A = this chain, B = another copy of it.
């Protein structure tokens, strides 16, 4: 499509659509491949869309809301969400962190994407900077730019955890926030507690307050009895942004929250600012029905067993072939190095073998690919020979 920004759509959006056109072409190539070879001979690892269904308790809780005689369950409520729902979330946060969260530290959002836009609009003036660590969720770039900000990307250590020296070096007088995502999309890596201990020290040294935003939608999806560190006890000025999309397998329903640490002097100010930004950005409030549901059954988690099994199959299969890969401890992605530096070229080689993946360039880290495990187990098994052939061809 030929974008003519002077005529109708904005220059910035037209530019972004043009930049994104290679992704669209890749999807189109994938669709063409499926048509040519048959969908069962093409293995699509590009989408992070859970293929499983919500736990029965979640649907049962939703039915109870619809059957309830209580009035105004579907009406407007305070923009931050129903106080009773926020209190339920605060109770879980108190238990997990030992910190005195109350309903006034919790703001219900239309998923994690809404949570991040809401808090970034509250924080950013034009030209302000948000630092993140590669590899990172590609949408962060847009989220910062939506509000006049700019995303600054710092390369990680070899184990794909933050490099604190590089993080500190990236801080400028314009830095307002550090945004991290652990368990990480696309790497599946969990940042250790020591990372946050170091971030706390670093933030204590800055001239102007900087907030840590911890984006945690994959927190409940972890393997091998690994514990994801609780960030708020470690970092004073911290805000958790998350959703139930992954833990309850309801990404289409858009329900999440922002939690402002009670240790933060500015928690009340941020809560009020975010109630305003959530409203004026057009979110208004998180969907009422799903607020009631997560208040009741928000601590349910889908069975992570199948993801662990697919992680094991894929990780062991790839390393046996010769791929270098940090073993994912959570989320549902594997993020191996490509045998050649040009990840986009390698994605094409894989596509020739009927295997669709996403180049690491899209996550700020060329020389890698993202493999999403939201597929059947059998797809992993049948795709590994294709991963092997492409690897041999590339060497």
Contacts and interface: CB of A to CB of B under 8 A. Distances in A.
A249 interface: yes
A17 B276 contact: yes
Contact of A1 (B5, B8, B268): B268
A125 B123 CA distance: 22
27 contacts: A1-B269, A1-B272, A10-B121, A10-B147, A16-B280, A17-B276, A47-B76, A59-B66, A62-B66, A63-B63, A66-B66, A74-B253, A75-B249, A76-B251, A110-B254, A110-B283, A111-B282, A113-B284, A115-B282, A143-B282, A250-B288, A252-B285, A252-B288, A253-B287, A281-B281, A282-B283, A283-B283
Given A8-B270, A125-B12, A280 B143 contact: yes
Contacts of A276: 13, 16-17, 20
A296 to B, nearest CB: 14
Most buried by B among A16, A209, A251, A268: A251
Interface in A157-189: none
A242 interface: no
A76 to B, nearest CB: 4
Interface in A124-142: 124-125, 128, 139, 142
A266 interface: yes
Contacts of A74: 53-54, 249-253
Contacts of A125: 5, 10-12
Contact of A13 (B8, B122, B249, B252): B122
Nearest to A4: B269
Interface in A81-129: 110-111, 113-118, 121-125, 128
A117 B121 CA distance: 14
A297 interface: no
A50 interface: yes
Given A281-B281, A282-B111, A10 B124 contact: yes
Contacts of A249: 74-75
Among all A-B residue pairs, the 3 with the closest Cβ atoms: A252-B288, A113-B282, A142-B280
